[in-house]
Chain A
């Protein structure tokens, strides 16, 4: 296993400030600002073409921004002398020479980074590409295997930050579960993770924070709980009158839904305590469906699509 990120002393490790990218009349990224902190996983969500990859490329010094700036560990990426030792980057798992073996791809990177060659088998092992898989040519890899290789490539320099663009693409459910574990573990040891996805459920389980982008603009930015609780919780009991009374007693405003549940403007804990105090049995208690992240994501991003069309027009 790799040593993991050393305890960093800068809380904000990725800082994106008013980043804008124009291609002619088209604004791909429009005044985007957000930051990622040490010890957290930040999910960067948005539909395809929302500007996620462009933002990440600007963050990693691969594309110059039209305006704005981005720093990693307080420094613009391009000013890091050996950036791979600080920031692990996976922007496109398919972008590897088809004729090289997985092992060779990592060996080249390890030499550039100045990592010992023993690091290569170690990382292949970490991502489950040890043995014959590592000696196969990348051209013969499935997309899932390329993602694993890309993650090994990102972790090779023992960085404090990792930036991953759509790392779950092509992974099977088991692979996605495995990757979540790796990312969670990395963050829990003080590292910062920024990962993008166009599918909410891929990041929902692992991200602490969500930054939602649509049409080049940030449309939501907050902790997962903040975004989840924004629309209240749905609670149901076999004793409907008792539940309404308990909620009223606890000063929790609520409305009755068509199928007899109560939609409460409050968090789940407050509702649970109210029910406990009144001795009411709950049969259901969950974030309200309309406020679910999926709904939020869909509503936010579908609005964003219109913005893009307006901009393109």
Chain B
């Protein structure tokens, strides 16, 4: 390394004043300071998601909303519907809308808020930032799942306290897993859209409009019906969101996840890598 720099300077025909290099690594700029670890970058991205008023209130509002609808479910309606599982189903609704939006904002923020210049000057390997954002998003999704379970428990407990509710706590671990998977998948789809489209407005519109367009198209054109069963994300992901997945649904979920999450993610990483920062 030292010799490289040396020859480099001589070739450039500049005055050379390279002092003898001591304990190699201390003076070699390629090894002098360690790169930030993946975990450090993840915590920075997590902090970025909540360190503005908009980001903070988006999260607080959805937690409050989840608690409100869960309690509403616990205290109203038919006794048989006033269970933990039913409370959870409702508590998940606000997050179902929030998490993809949060994923989109997470990925488009550097461009829409013009922080890309500072961020990528500190971490030139853009894919590292992208993956840190994906990990931060998944952690937020996990947090949201925990929050919705807590909200559902609160709703069911209030329902029991008020009286007249079924109040059943029963829910299988598998069902809880499905709930979490649905949240994360939903969020990742937002992440992919944000990463690929790079503009929050465009990505949000596309996220909500495109799958709906697919559903409408699949239902009106009967010849497309059999194909669209495999590529319409609304239909494929519905069993997961409703915690009602049957064995035959998994392949469809996988195909759709690949198409609606995997493809935008990969294309988005490529696009992020190539985009010139101004």
Which A residues fall within an 8 A CB radius of B?
9-12, 15, 17, 35, 57, 60-64, 71-75, 77-86, 89, 91-92, 94-100, 104-105, 107-109, 111-114, 153
Contacts and interface: CB of A to CB of B under 8 A. Distances in A.
Contacts, number: 135
B277 interface: yes
B117 A35 contact: no
Interface of B: 4-5, 8-9, 12, 14-19, 21, 27, 29-36, 40-41, 43-44, 47-48, 51-54, 109, 113-118, 120-125, 276-278
Contacts of B9: 10-12, 15, 74
Contact of B52 (A60, A85, A95, A99): A99
A10 B36 contact: no
B5 A82 contact: no
A99 B52 CA distance: 5
Given A62-B276, A108-B44, A153-B118, 19 more contacts: A9-B21, A10-B5, A11-B14, A57-B277, A60-B121, A61-B121, A62-B120, A74-B29, A81-B31, A83-B124, A84-B122, A94-B114, A95-B114, A97-B113, A107-B47, A108-B47, A111-B44, A112-B40, A113-B36
A94 B118 CA distance: 11
Nearest to B51: A104
Contacts of B16: 11-12
The binding surface of chain B is classed by DSSP as: loop
A82 B52 contact: no
Given A111-B44, A113-B122, A91 B117 contact: yes
A82 B36 contact: yes
6 contacts: A61-B120, A71-B8, A75-B29, A81-B31, A83-B122, A86-B33
Given A11-B15, A62-B277, A111-B47, A99 B118 contact: no
Contacts of B43: 111
